[in-house]
Structures are given as structure tokens and as C-alpha cells.
Amino acid sequence: MKTHLNLATTDLATSINFYSVLLDAKPKRVLADYALFVTDEPALELALDLTESVEATTDAHYGICMESVEEVDRAIARLQSAGFAVSIEREQTCCYANQTKGWAVDPSDRRWEVYTVHGEAAERDGADTTCCTA
């Protein structure tokens, strides 16, 4: 089973670059106005559609849960090496869990996190993190 996600973009080439780095994969199919990524880890079909405009949302974000801090660190390193700004949170409480994560923004201003959960927490947010709402 795979999750399918279809996202609009105004810059297909830049979006292909971002998602190639984020997913550590090349697209399976690329056309003038469309790209398709199919990955096993995470189990995802990601379609990108070229459009004239995209409205960024502030009420949502996307994430990829990883098995270990080492996997998160590798994803952060890939993003940084490709020139993407990454905000890093280590051992922070967010959404009732202690997590390590890296945040990056795609070319259409969608916020993505790569993260791993260390354990459950009794509180929603830590005092020194903006958690997933910033």
C-alpha cells in the first residue's frame, strides 16, 4: 500500500529538484507539466502538476517519519548540501512526543519535516520550540 499525494507547483524543475533531495529518489516519469515520484521508503506516489499559481497554506504541513536519528541526519545533510535551508530541532517536545527533526520548505512554500520520535510526552509543546505550528 502506498499513499498518493498530488501537489501543484509553479516551477516544476525546481520542485523536481527539491523532492528528489527530500525523498532521495528520482522521478519515475517527467513530462512538460507533470512529474511522478514512486518510492518504497516512504511508501509514496507523489505527483507534481505544473500550474499558473499556488496558494501557500499556513494551516498544514507535511512530514516523513524516519526510523532513526541517523536517517533524519542523512536527510538533513542531503537538503543542506543541495542548498535548501533546514531548521533543526533535537530532542524537542512537539505534539505529545519527544522528537528530532529537520524542517525544509518546498518551492511552493509547503513546510516539510523529516523526523523521528524518541518517545511519548505528557505535554503538547516544549517551552523552547515552535513545534509544528510555526
Q: With beta carbons less than 8 A apart as the criterion, state whether 26 and 39 touch.
A: no
Query: Domain 3-133 sits in which CATH superfamily?
Result: 2,3-Dihydroxybiphenyl 1,2-Dioxygenase, domain 1 (3.10.180.10)
The secondary structure element, H or E, covering residue 26 is none
Q: What is the pTM of this model?
A: 0.89
DSSP β-ladder status, 44-50 and 97-105:
unpaired
pLDDT digits (tens, 9 = 90+) for 10-68: 999 999 999 999 999 999 999 999 999 999 999 999 999 999 998 877 788 999 999 99
